């Protein structure tokens, strides 16, 4: 059973670039936080702090950090940049989440990926993949 989870994830990580790996790991984190919000009936929020995405759960009007193996925060490599919402990304227990546009950029590979999060299931949808000089003109 575990092979069904580990092997496909390992295959994806071996075939992708560093930036695509970061997008994939952020996607898994957002989908897991969304599922937890729906099934636990609590708000979950992901915030960018010190080059790392941190997960928080709302309990009694306070945000509590979540430490869980499935909600492990991907560390953003030093040569990669991530435009994340300043207030964080929130998933609601009603089965809805915020839908910001995210920008992932790899300085060394000169690669930029724009992602939009679907509001009803938290899946990442690639909006476009542009070279860095064209991405700056948007």
Task: Report how far Cα 132 is from the mean position of its chain's Cα atoms.
Answer: 21
Contacts of 12 (CB under 8 A, 6+ apart): 24
Max Cα separation, the chain? 47
Tens-place pLDDT, residues 113-123: 999 999 999 99
- Sequence-distant (6+) residues with CB within 8 A of 22 are 74, 76, 77, 80, 82, 104
In this predicted model, what pLDDT tens digit does every residue of 34-59 receive, in sequence order?
A: 999 999 999 999 999 988 899 999 99
State which fold the 2-135 domain adopts: minor pseudopilin epsh fold (3.55.40)
Quick: pLDDT tens for 102-111: 999 999 989 9
Q: Phi/psi at 88 (nearest 5 deg)?
A: 90, 170
First to last CA, the chain: 45
Query: CA separation (Å) from 132 to 14, 63, 75, 109, 128?
Result: 24, 36, 22, 9, 12
pLDDT attached to residue 64: 94
């Amino acid at each position: 059973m575990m092979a069904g989870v580990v092997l496909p994830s390992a295959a994806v990580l071996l075939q992708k670039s560093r930036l695509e790996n970061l997008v994939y790991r952020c996607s898994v984190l957002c989908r897991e936080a969304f599922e937890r919000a729906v099934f636990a009936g609590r708000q979950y929020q992901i915030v960018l702090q010190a080059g790392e995405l941190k997960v928080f759960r709302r309990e009694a009007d306070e945000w509590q950090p979540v430490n869980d193996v499935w909600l492990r925060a991907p560390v953003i490599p030093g040569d990669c940049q991530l435009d994340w919402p300043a207030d964080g990304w929130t998933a609601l227990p009603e089965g809805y989440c915020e839908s910001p546009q995210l920008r992932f950029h790899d300085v060394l590979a000169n690669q930029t990926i724009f992602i939009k999060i679907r509001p009803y299931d938290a899946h990442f949808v690639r909006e476009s993949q542009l070279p860095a000089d064209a991405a700056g003109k948007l």
